[in-house]
Homo-oligomer: A and B are copies of this chain.
Amino acid sequence: MTFKTKLDAAWQQSGSMLMVGLDPDPKRFPDQLQGRKDAIYEFCREIVDLTAPFVCGFKPQIAYFSASGAEDQLEALCRHIKQNHPDLPLVLDAKRGDIGSTAEQYAREAYERYGADAVTVNPYMGHDSVAPYLEWKDRGIIVLCRTSNPGGSDLQFVEDSEGTPLYLRVASMVADQWNQNGQCGLVVGATFPQEIAKVRERVGDMPLLIPGIGAQGGSIPDTVQAGRDSRGLGMMINSSRAILYASKGEGWREAAAEAARATRDAINAVA
């Protein structure tokens, strides 16, 4: 089972292209969890179990754990996901990028320590900075291409002498050179549906991780129309804050589950 086959099966079985991003910010936790020592784990574990029926996978964002020294809680959370939701891909959002000998260490962190099926990586340092990840044949990398934030344009929109913007060069490089074994995906932000369409045209049915709906304002219909592959699948459409923090009061569990269900339905409703 590779990352790609696991993701394909998850799309089919779940009937969902929603991925829930786990960005635990203790200040925004429900009142019931405030002050608990394992609040990060407990909150994320509950979110995972509540939203699992409506998603194609989970994406913990490591910075939110590292800032609080909570790597042990991230380890426990990843174990929980793999034990209780073994069919749902686990994508570690870490956006790593370093020389080969260091990338070997980051690959161990993502795949061995946390058991991730895939990890997000940054392309700026080129082919030998991703090669160590690709040695793990059953795992995947998802490469930053066109990010959802305003500053993404600073470099990603720079055009080369032939008028090709950098993000499309990245898409081509990944599709033509790095994806020999079908281990790669790309990050393309929902805030730029025109660029999603250009990337999709360039890379065929390669999986796209699409942040930027929800709190960042990207449109679900525009995203789905631009990003679906030849089978009508092909996207991990991420939502984090809009689901995690749907409510802070007593009904937070129901609110989170309902937000996930409604987002899945909104994705599936696009004709």
Encoded as 1 (CB less than 8 Å from any B CB) or 0, chain A from 124 to 140 comes to 11111110000000000
Query: Which residues does chain B contribute within 8 Å of A63, judged by CB atoms?
Result: 96, 98, 102-103, 105-106, 109
**How many of chain A's residues have a CB under 8 angstroms from any CB in B?**
54
Once the chains bind, are B102 and A23 in contact (CB under 8 Å)?
A: yes
Q: Flag whether A123 is at the interface (Cβ < 8 A).
A: yes
Chain B, residue nearest A149 (CB): B99
Query: Which residues does chain B contribute within 8 Å of A269, judged by CB atoms?
Result: none
Distance in angstroms from A132 CB to nearest chain B CB is 11
When A102-B63, A149-B100 are in contact, do A123 and B155 touch as well, CB less than 8 Å? yes
Encoded as 1 (CB less than 8 Å from any B CB) or 0, chain A from 73 to 115 comes to 0010000000000000000000111111111011011001100
Kindly report how many copies of this chain are found in the complex they form together: 2
Q: Flag whether A6 is at the interface (Cβ < 8 A).
A: no
Once the chains bind, are B169 and A152 in contact (CB under 8 Å)?
A: no
Encoded as 1 (CB less than 8 Å from any B CB) or 0, chain A from 29 to 66 comes to 00000000000000000000000000000000101101
Closest A-B pairs by Cβ, 10 of them? A126-B151, A126-B154, A63-B105, A67-B105, A128-B151, A127-B151, A67-B108, A99-B149, A66-B109, A124-B124
A residues with a Cβ closer than 8 A to B are 23, 61, 63-64, 66-67, 69, 71, 75, 95-103, 105-106, 108-109, 112-113, 122-130, 144, 147-156, 158-161, 163, 166, 169-170, 173, 211
